[in-house]
A and B are shown apart, each in its own frame.
Chain A
Amino acid sequence: MSEALRTFFSPQILGPEIFYGSSVGLFLIGLYMILVKKNLVKIVIGLSFIESGVNLFLISLGYVWGKTAPILNKPELMKEPVKYAVDPVPQALVLTAIVIGVAVTAMALSIVIVLHDKYGTLDISKIKELKW
């Protein structure tokens, strides 16, 4: 194995690439579902995929290699939390964003139910009238 390949497959390099790559992949799959799919339930699933991808990206930005969770249960963690714990600010943000995402999904699905009651279909190419 050459030197460049060995540096790429070392854990410090490969670790962030896995998480960044999978979050971007999840985001792109959600974007594809929103843009291409005709079914309304699939579009809402794509919206929740985009939310999940952004959450994973934020958490992996806050991760520092080799550090522990930001729970101060040991004396050295209480004395110097910056040296031993990962960044807790993105975790607090994402914790709020998950709950808001569930509320957004429930709102969108209630609109889907109303549209199905009104038009009798979930296909967005058949819902053409703008008047309710």
Chain B
Amino acid sequence: MSTLVLYLALAMAILMLVGAFVVVVTKDLLVAVIASAVVDLVLAILFYILQAPDVAITQASIGAGLTTAIFVVVVRKTKRFEDD
């Protein structure tokens, strides 16, 4: 891991935490689901930086793809907006 990759990892970690913060503050559940998909994709990039390419492939396909599909189906079958 060179210094350039280290700064890329720092940027990806910050992007991941910002995505998680967007999930916390938004009232639209579809926006929350898309932001959690972004968090999972950035997590796959972090796994690849940490020299785990098989885990990165699995996280990007199953963690980001399949989980987001299930969440979108649930938001479609129930309510879209969080009422409080």
Contacts and interface: CB of A to CB of B under 8 A. Distances in A.
Query: Are A and B a genuine interacting pair, yes or no?
Result: yes
Interface of A: 11, 14-15, 18-19, 21-22, 25-26, 29-30, 32-33, 37-39, 41-42, 44-45, 48-49, 52, 55-56, 59-60, 62-63, 65-71, 86, 91, 94-95, 98-99, 101-102, 105-106, 109, 112-113, 116, 121-123
B43 A52 contact: yes
Interface of B (DSSP majority class): helix
A99 to B, nearest CB: 6
Given A41-B29, A49-B20, A123-B83, A98 B53 contact: no
B24 to A, nearest CB: 6
A14 B6 contact: yes
B22 to A, nearest CB: 11
B82 A42 contact: yes
Interface residues of B, number: 44
Given A15-B1, A26-B20, A69-B51, 8 more contacts: A18-B10, A19-B50, A55-B59, A59-B55, A98-B59, A99-B62, A102-B67, A113-B78
A38 B58 contact: no
Interface in B12-27: 13, 16-17, 20-21, 23-24
Contacts of B43: 52, 55-56
A52 B63 CA distance: 9
Contact of B3 (A11, A39, A98): A11
Contacts of B50: 19, 59-60, 63, 86
Given A49-B36, A65-B1, A41 B78 contact: yes
